[in-house]
Amino acid sequence: MAYDGQLETNEIFSSLFNQIISLQVFPTGIADLTGIYAPRKVDGTLYGDTKLYISTDVLTSYEWDGSDTPGSYTLLTVKRPPAPVEEEIQIDTFRQIPVTIDNYLTKRAFAQEGSFSSFNGVILSWLQKTKEVYEHTTYTARMVVSAQAGATALTTIDLTDDKATGTSLTGYDLLKWRAQELYRQIEDYMKELEEPSTAYNDNGFLRTYKLEDFDIVVPLGVLSSISKHDVPFLYNPDNKPKFKEVHWKYFGAINASGGTTAATNTNVRALVEKVYGTTHCFPGDLLPDSQAYLANETYTATYTARPSLNDNDVTVLMIHKRDYPIMSAFSVGTSFFNARRLDINHYLTFGHNDVYDAHLGEYALLKVATDVA
């Protein structure tokens, strides 16, 4: 029950009031946040805000017969390597988190120094915790939405029936077969990448990849559909693809033009932290009903509820573990004491690169859809 700010009247003497016997200040309540973005943070400093990536390609071999003029070139022929591709990430997005505290007037609301200090400590801890929430929601939303838009689509995995026998499966048998088939086909796709090919990276360079190079990302809800049914039927669990779950709300397609949400909004979510009307939204949050929004600041979510391999077509993303580098070295805490009001403004200012545009053409970025209809 919320405290109404009034002390209770004593049961015997109505002119006296019962006293507050204790006060507890709750901590932030936000656990440590981890996700697919955490291992992708790369080195950076306050002195350098740009990181370059250079990709080069394989050379060409020619028939040689031991003479000075083999094939179509001579000793003076210039054979430059193929032109490299240079890409960059840059710290170009800056945010600031402000909060004001005071050590005098607010203190009068507390019965003791300890509880007041605890309260101020929690308020100040929200500076860093808010940054963590911002990073978690922003990096995850922008990476997943970007990957869905830019990934090379592989052939859809048909999970509608048991194609091996041509029989119709139901219940547990169907679920077991879908789990096995999903793993089998994804494993086959990933093994294809071990053969040198130019087909799977944006640069068109000859590359090979291994299964362990990738995070295989699925929406939250898929693993619980299959994790109890895939082993030990076909695979040794140590050798099969390992999926990483990301909350289903982050899957979707960016809205490239402005619009207004429906009277009952179920799928338009924020891509940037912003206040819509009176509602503060972090990336991934649903916008309010009948709310106008601008181009490129929201996305339409793929799912309106937790998906299941039994009931939903799902998208599986294969993102290289070194792709989508995140540089966020710029982070500065400052404060300003207002001598007239006797309060202190605290600021946490930080910067990072735009994760949506951080895909590197050096690495394969793949996606595959399932069909359960």
Q: State the Cα–Cα distance between residues 31 and 240, nearest whole angstrom.
A: 30
Question: Per-residue pLDDT tens for 302-353?
Answer: 999 999 887 789 999 999 999 999 998 788 999 999 999 899 999 999 999 9
Read off the pLDDT of each residue in 231-240 and give the average, rounded to a whole number.
Answer: 52
pLDDT over 80 (residue 230): no
- Per-residue model confidence (pLDDT) at position 228: 58
Find the helix or strand (DSSP H, E) in which 338 lies. strand 331-338
- Per-residue model confidence (pLDDT) at position 330: 83
pLDDT over 80 (residue 209): yes
Cα separation values, 262 from 57, 278, 282, 288, 293, Å: 49, 17, 19, 9, 12
Question: Per-residue pLDDT tens for 36-80?
Answer: 888 898 887 776 788 999 999 999 888 887 776 666 787 788 889
**pLDDT top residue among 231 and 332:** 332
- Per-residue model confidence (pLDDT) at position 163: 62
pLDDT over 70 (residue 204): yes
CA 41 to chain centre: 12
- Per-residue model confidence (pLDDT) at position 225: 67
Read off the pLDDT of each residue in 175-200 and give the average, rounded to a whole number.
Answer: 88
Contacts of 179 (CB under 8 A, 6+ apart): 225, 226, 227, 229, 230, 309
Give the chain's mean pLDDT: 86
Torsion of CA 287, 288, 290, 296, to 10 degrees: -20
- Per-residue model confidence (pLDDT) at position 38: 87
Q: By the 8 A CB rule, do 68 and 74 touch?
A: yes
pLDDT-derived band at 235 (thresholds 50, 70, 90) equals very low
Which 8-state DSSP code applies to residue 86? E
pLDDT-derived band at 237 (thresholds 50, 70, 90) equals low
Question: Which region among 9-23, 148-162, 211-225, 301-315 has the lowest average model confidence (pLDDT)?
Answer: 9-23
Q: By the 8 A CB rule, do 41 and 328 touch?
A: yes
pLDDT over 90 (residue 253): yes
SS3 letters across 355-368: HHHCCCCCCCEEEE
- Per-residue model confidence (pLDDT) at position 234: 43
DSSP secondary structure letters along 174-234: HHHHHHHHHHHHHHHHHHHTTS-BSSSSTT---B---GGGEEEEEETTHHHHHTTTSTTTT
- Please report how many Cα atoms fall inside a 13 Å half-sphere around the Cα of residue 46, on the Cβ side: 5
pLDDT over 70 (residue 84): yes
Tokens of 318: 């294969």
Beta strands in 20-134 (DSSP E): 50-55, 85-90, 93-102
**pLDDT top residue among 20 and 126:** 126
Read off the pLDDT of each residue in 20-36 and give the average, rounded to a whole number.
Answer: 70
What radius of gyration, in Å, describes the C-alpha atoms of the chain?
28
Read off the pLDDT of each residue in 202-230 and give the average, rounded to a whole number.
Answer: 84
Q: By the 8 A CB rule, do 289 and 261 touch?
A: yes
Cα separation values, 104 from 109, 324, 341, 351, Å: 10, 47, 10, 33
- Per-residue model confidence (pLDDT) at position 11: 61
pLDDT over 90 (residue 181): no
158 bridge partner residues:
371
Q: State the Cα–Cα distance between residues 95 and 286, nearest whole angstrom.
A: 22
- ∠ CA 206-149-329, nearest 5°, is 80
Tokens of 127: 């500076």
CA 5 to chain centre: 41
Q: By the 8 A CB rule, do 219 and 247 touch?
A: yes
- ∠ CA 362-367-370, nearest 5°, is 165
Q: State the Cα–Cα distance between residues 268 and 282, nearest whole angstrom.
A: 13
pLDDT over 80 (residue 373): no
- Per-residue model confidence (pLDDT) at position 233: 43
pLDDT over 90 (residue 236): no
Which among 161-170, 261-270, 305-314 has the top mean pLDDT?
Answer: 261-270
Read off the pLDDT of each residue in 258-279 and give the average, rounded to a whole number.
Answer: 97
End-to-end CA distance of the chain: 48
Which 8-state DSSP code applies to residue 136? H
